[in-house]
């Protein structure tokens, strides 16, 4: 039997694989501390759960319109207006099964063979894989640590060709927590407009920001860039709702309609019950929940960055958003553990898992070897214990 060619183009998500391996070790009774989680460690707020239970009891358990219920599309449009000053009609919003699904619908509706899609590295693992699934070509361009892991406008411009279809921006970003301010976005937008390039703006972490950072959506800068941008986000991270699978895309009506057609012939509507829960989540009644969560993340952020910076050979960018740190471990590479040379971040994370029982994701998975990603969506107690182990394990390298 021969599988379709596209299967061989992609890799399974390395972050999910690592998380699975750490969980399997835990099941065997091994005391593993995982820094690999890609989701908040908080529970979905009670009021949101109650909205879902109500939906079930009231029999809201059938198919809905495949692009999402009007009430939720409108709730998203209202939220985008209030939070980011964006003006979308409900029919310019498509509800999908998580932001990952929204991004997949964009790839299917917009990209094809011969297209190039620019992705700054470090990138979220899914971006290049979805571009490959669409038969287009991912064009990876480095966003350097010295530039705060932000794509330099002149570097963006330098990789544009007549085939360039889109740029995927993720702000605040996973895995780094870097975030673009208005001035920087204006420069990116000017180049995109001049070259007629779409911007896919993944703003999943827009509400998880620190030190008073003010999220600006590139779509809000002017009418020309608004018409070229698709804003993507979800209920998953800000409302601790990763399992509910609700994401959305907002953009030009012709594109949202095309994505809706694809969705109607692939998954149909996201779960009716989750949609009702998301209406409740986006009501504005959970600002206190988000504030509480961000405050807790913030304390852990400072703690983990300080601990990492105190380890000889490690430097660490202070994230402005999301819940990951992305330490630079290049100086540690080349050291020895017993008879093995730890000469890559893949080997370093394997060493940390096997010897220190700590799970971290190698930067290679995000297009940035020499770094690793640690999630601080985990209790302070776990973070303290895990950092002790990392510090010891690195000290034991020769
Ligand atoms: C978690 C994440 C998503 C996916 O969110 P889902 O709604 O769970 O599909 C999208 N983009 C980034 C950058 C993420 O970290």
The pTM for the full model equals 0.97
Is 364 part of any domain? yes
- Given its phi and psi angles, is residue 212 left (phi above 0), alpha (psi -120 to 50 degrees) or beta? left
Residue 208 Cα to ligand 1 middle (Å): 13
- Regarding the beta carbon of 242 and ligand 1, being less than 6 Å apart is answered yes
Question: Same domain, yes or no, for 280 and 303?
Answer: no
- Regarding the beta carbon of 363 and ligand 1, being less than 6 Å apart is answered no
Q: Residue 16: what pLDDT?
A: 72
- Is pLDDT above 80 for 184? yes
Boundary of a domain, candidates 244, 268, 284: 284
Is 213 part of any domain? yes
| 1 band by pLDDT with thresholds 50, 70 and 90 | confident
Q: Residue 7: what pLDDT?
A: 87
- Is pLDDT above 80 for 378? yes
Question: Same domain, yes or no, for 309 and 362?
Answer: yes
- Is pLDDT above 80 for 323? yes
- Is pLDDT above 80 for 368? yes
Q: Residue 19: what pLDDT?
A: 75
CATH number, domain at 386?
3.90.1150.10
Tokens of residue 246, six digits? 């609700």
Question: Same domain, yes or no, for 279 and 353?
Answer: no
Question: Same domain, yes or no, for 79 and 183?
Answer: yes
| 9 band by pLDDT with thresholds 50, 70 and 90 | confident
- Length of the chain equals 398
Boundary of a domain, candidates 231, 256, 284: 284
| 81 band by pLDDT with thresholds 50, 70 and 90 | very high
Mean pLDDT of 364-379: 96
How do residues 233-263 score in pLDDT, each as one tens digit? Answer: 999 999 999 999 999 999 999 999 999 999 9
- Regarding the beta carbon of 175 and ligand 1, being less than 6 Å apart is answered no
Structural contact between residues 388 and 382, judged by C-beta atoms closer than 8 angstroms: no
Higher-confidence position of 158 and 12: 158
Euclidean distance between CA atoms 88 and 80, whole angstroms:
8
Euclidean distance between CA atoms 26 and 23, whole angstroms:
5
Cβ-based neighbour number of residue 211 at 10 Å: 9
Reported in sequence order, the residue ranges of 137-228 that DSSP labels E, i.e. its strands, are 137-142, 164-170, 198-202
Q: Please, which residues bridge with residue 199 across strands?
A: 167, 229
- Is pLDDT above 80 for 18? no
Q: Residue 116: what pLDDT?
A: 98
Euclidean distance between CA atoms 228 and 345, whole angstroms:
37
> Among 94, 98, 180, 278, which is best to mutate for testing ligand 1, by the most ligand atoms less than 8 A from CB?
98
Euclidean distance between CA atoms 151 and 7, whole angstroms:
30
Residue 43 Cα to ligand 1 middle (Å): 17
Residue 124 Cα to ligand 1 middle (Å): 9
How do residues 354-365 score in pLDDT, each as one tens digit? Answer: 999 999 999 999
> Among 234, 244, 248, 321, which is best to mutate for testing ligand 1, by the most ligand atoms less than 8 A from CB?
234
Question: Same domain, yes or no, for 162 and 66?
Answer: yes
Cα-based distances in Å from 143 to 140, 154, 193: 10, 11, 21
Residue 393 Cα to ligand 1 middle (Å): 31
């Amino acid at each position: 039997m021969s599988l379709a060619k596209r299967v061989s183009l992609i890799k399974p998500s390395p972050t999910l694989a690592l998380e699975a391996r750490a969980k399997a070790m835990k099941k065997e009774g091994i005391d593993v501390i995982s820094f690999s989680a890609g989701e908040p460690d908080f529970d979905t707020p009670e009021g949101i759960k109650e909205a879902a239970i109500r939906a079930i009891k009231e029999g809201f358990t059938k198919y809905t319109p495949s692009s999402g219920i009007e009430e939720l599309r409108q709730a998203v449009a209202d939220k985008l207006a209030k939070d980011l000053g964006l003006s979308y009609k409900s029919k310019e919003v498509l509800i999908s099964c998580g932001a990952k699904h929204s991004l997949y619908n964009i790839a299917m509706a917009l990209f094809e063979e011969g297209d190039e899609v620019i992705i700054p590295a470090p990138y979220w693992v899914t971006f290049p894989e979805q571009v490959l699934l669409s038969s287009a070509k991912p064009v990876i361009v480095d966003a350097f640590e010295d530039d705060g892991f932000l794509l330099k406008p002149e570097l963006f411009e330098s990789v544009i060709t007549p085939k360039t279809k889109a740029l995927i921006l993720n702000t605040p970003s996973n895995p780094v927590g870097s975030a673009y301010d208005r001035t920087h976005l204006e420069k990116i937008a000017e180049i995109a407009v001049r070259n007629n390039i779409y911007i896919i703006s993944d703003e999943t972490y827009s509400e998880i920001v620190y030190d008073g950072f003010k999220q600006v959506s590139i779509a809000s800068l002017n009418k020309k860039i608004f018409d070229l941008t698709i804003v993507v986000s979800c209920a998953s991270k800000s409302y601790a709702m990763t399992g509910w699978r609700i994401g959305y895309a907002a953009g030009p009506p012709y594109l949202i309609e095309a994505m809706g057609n694809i969705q109607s012939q692939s998954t149909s509507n996201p779960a009716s019950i989750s949609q009702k829960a998301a209406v409740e989540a986006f009501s504005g009644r959970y600002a206190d929940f988000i504030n509480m969560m961000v405050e807790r993340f913030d304390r852990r952020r400072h703690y983990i960055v300080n601990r990492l910076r105190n380890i000889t050979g490690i430097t660490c960018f202070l994230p402005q958003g999301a819940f990951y740190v992305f330490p630079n471990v290049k100086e540690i590479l080349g050291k020895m553990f017993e008879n093995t040379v730890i000469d890559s971040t893949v080997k370093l994370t394997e060493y940390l898992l096997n010897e220190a029982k700590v799970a971290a994701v190698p930067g290679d998975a995000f297009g940035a070897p020499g770094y690793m990603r640690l999630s601080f969506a985990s209790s302070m107690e776990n973070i303290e214990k895990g950092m002790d182990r990392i510090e010891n394990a690195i000290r034991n390298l020769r």
